[in-house]
Chain A
Amino acid sequence: MSANDTPGLRLVEAGLGTSLQDLGRRHFQRFGISESGALDAPALRLANALLGNEPGTAALEITLSGPVIDIEAERVRLALVGADFPVTLNGQALRCGRSFEAQRGDRLVIGLARQGARAYLAVAGGFAAAPTLGSLSTHSRSRLGGLDGGYLKAGDRLALTPGAAGEGPQLALPALPAPEAAKLRVVLGPQDDFFTDQGIETFLSARYQVSPRADRMGYQVEGPAIAHAKGFNIVSDGIVNGSIQVPGNGQPIVLLADRQTTGGYPKIATVIEADLPILAQLRPGESLGFTAVTADEAEEIVLEARAAQAAREAALVEVGAARRPPAIRALLSADLTAGLARV
């Protein structure tokens, strides 16, 4: 990033796994290019909605432990949506799920997630970086996207799209429904015929635990072994977001955005699109189960979930034009939000 770029954010500390992500890199999987993109896409979209951005504008995906950021831009509006992270601006606590404004010299500190695993820090107008193959999403294993193909590190500077910081309403999300116990809905197949009936029964009835090997490529989960019916090698075929492959040890791996495009282990089922965000927020040690729906049911569920998401993006609540955190508190204490949705 050259010194001529519009000043934006500077990472003082990068956090555990902070990367630029948008809604992914499509059209190149046939050349072995992983899709990538936000693991919790609805959270990314909401962060962008709070700032009036296009839904797929790239933001920082923050994992478990957040970054410390110095604001170098004259003024910038930001929003953080997703897991419950403690956030302070110049030492004053901010709430997730609403837009806020910061200015040059401010320090934003995002701590350790109290619940959930991932949140998205978006800026009004988006970051100024050159897309690779149509996307800013980072795929660290093949060094694609982001600033230099990797996770962000201390000292990295992220420029803002010139002229986009400007004024805007301060918006908040209506309260989100409480997270449900993680029971992920799956469509069986495409290789469910590689498992015994008992194996499928185990898969659908047991509880599994997220292992420490859970990253953007996939979540290895641990629990009762799933029995194969005819070995565990298939002639390699394509893998989608949410494909659950079961290698020889019988322990399932749910493959996610950074997955390889093809693979040779049988895939017992696929997590439906609507439930991938639940998985993205699970942490190592947390438990989950799988329940089967038919492909037709899954399609209905996914279309309904998308409609609910669109409604959520449209149901933002204006919480005043305040610029600075103290003023936010003043507004709230004056109860100017009465009559609007509870936030």
Chain B
Amino acid sequence: MRHNPPPREPTLDRPLELPRFLPAGTGALVVEFGARVDESTSEAVLALDRAVTAAGIEGVIELVPTYRSLLVHFDPAVIRAAALRRRLETLVAHPEAAPREERLWTIPVCYGGACGEDLEAVATLHKLDPQEVVAIHAASDFRVYMIGFAPGFAYLGGLDPRLHTSRRVEPRLRTPARSVSIGGAQSALNPPFELPSGWHLLGQTPVHLWDPRREGDATIGPSLLLPGDRVRLSPVGPEEYRDLCARADAGDPVAQLQIQPRTAEETPA
């Protein structure tokens, strides 16, 4: 089936890139805002995520915001796809204003050595010292684009172009818990368990990206990070890393949270 062209909305008073509505079988619709990793696409996805949540549409089961699309799971016995699509089109045309504030996290990372077995190889590849790779990575202004793949696993955009690195030809079936890695133009923070990965391992973070003990906590939920959050990384040595791990395992978030005015350029008026 070929996709219908997006509908035109003559009443809009400002230019708006209209998304594509794509079926994902029965019971799910993809609202796709583009095919790029960029902040404005992500902002459009998150604005619709907020709007659909606020609208409380009967029959909508859950929403999965990604880099460039919102996946809407629904029950076709309660709302048919055609009716849902009309509701979503209306919400796209009237996006929810973004919050005035955003969350900035400072997350400790132990780079290299036993924590990051690919640091040397990445440095060699880019003709840099390992310490330069650490400095560049830690100085990047990261934004959380998506939580996916595994519980609390955070996809970060904003990697300095000097560290853009093709994925490994042979993915590893197991990578260490808590890994901090890079792949392509992205970086990732792993939850505290082993996962398969084709990305390059630069370090590890003591922080539990996923911790079910935080269920019900109003400030920090089980998933530490949420799409739209800002992240800065703070290098720590192996000893401090071990101490922080012990504290994190005992339930301390060991990540610093600041609430700050939004820095996104796309903040709606």
Contact = CB atoms under 8 A, between A and B. Distances in A.
- On whether the two chains bind one another, the answer is yes
Interface of A: 26-33, 132-133, 141-144, 186-190, 192-193, 234-238, 240-243, 260-263, 267, 270-274, 292, 294-296, 298-299, 301-303, 306
Given A133-B212, A193-B3, A33 B32 contact: no
30 contacts: A26-B73, A27-B61, A29-B62, A31-B223, A32-B151, A133-B212, A144-B151, A187-B1, A187-B26, A189-B1, A189-B30, A190-B23, A190-B32, A235-B36, A237-B30, A237-B67, A237-B71, A238-B30, A238-B71, A240-B24, A243-B25, A261-B148, A271-B25, A272-B25, A272-B26, A292-B1, A295-B23, A295-B26, A298-B25, A302-B76
Interface of B: 1-3, 22-28, 30, 32, 35-37, 61-69, 71, 73, 76-77, 80-82, 146-153, 155, 191, 193, 210, 212, 215, 221-223
A26 B193 CA distance: 22
Nearest to B27: A273
B149 A189 contact: no
B1 A262 contact: no
Contact of B76 (A33, A271, A299): A299
B27 A30 contact: no
Contacts, number: 150
Given A30-B147, A32-B149, A235-B68, A190 B22 contact: yes
A32 B26 contact: no
Q: DSSP majority for the B interface?
A: loop
A236 B66 contact: yes
Contacts of B223: 31-32
Contacts of B71: 29, 237-238, 240
Contacts of A142: 150-151, 191, 193
Nearest to A260: B149
Contacts of A133: 212, 215, 222
A226 B66 CA distance: 26
Q: Which of A190, A192, A274 has the largest count of B CB atoms less than 10 A from its CB?
A: A190
Given A31-B147, A189-B24, A240 B73 contact: yes
A261 B64 CA distance: 8
B62 A30 contact: yes
B23 A236 contact: no
A301 B76 CA distance: 11
A267 B153 CA distance: 22
B215 A270 contact: no
A299 B152 contact: no
A150 B221 CA distance: 24
Contacts of B2: 193
B36 A270 contact: no
A277 to B, nearest CB: 14
B147 A302 contact: no
A189 B23 contact: yes
B196 to A, nearest CB: 9
Contact of A262 (B64, B191, B210): B64
A185 B59 CA distance: 24
Given A26-B62, A262-B64, A32 B152 contact: yes
Nearest to A31: B223
